Amino acid sequence: MADKSREFIVDYAKQRDLLTMYASVDRMNQHMVEGNTDGVASEQHLQQNIRSNFRELQSRQGIETEL
């Protein structure tokens, strides 16, 4: 039972990370349109952190991928 619960939590966290990534990409595109280079750089750093979190979650599930 604990494994299923842990799996659910990891899947939920991965889904949350993906949704956060999509929102960040949308914001980054808006920053590009507005010419806000600081905003673009900020979103790029956030996306790197999200990718790192996502990779960590996948490694906990035994999944290895290139992102």
pLDDT top residue among 62 and 66: 62
What is the C-alpha separation between 15 and 67, in angstroms, rounded? 15
DSSP 63: -
**44-55 burial string, b = 16+ CB within 10 Å, else e?**
eebeeebeebbb
pLDDT digits (tens, 9 = 90+) for 33-63: 999 999 999 999 999 999 999 999 888 887 7
Q: Is the model's pTM score more than 0.85?
A: no
Candidates 3.30.460, 1.20.58, 3.30.70, 1.10.3470; CATH matching 2-60: 1.20.58
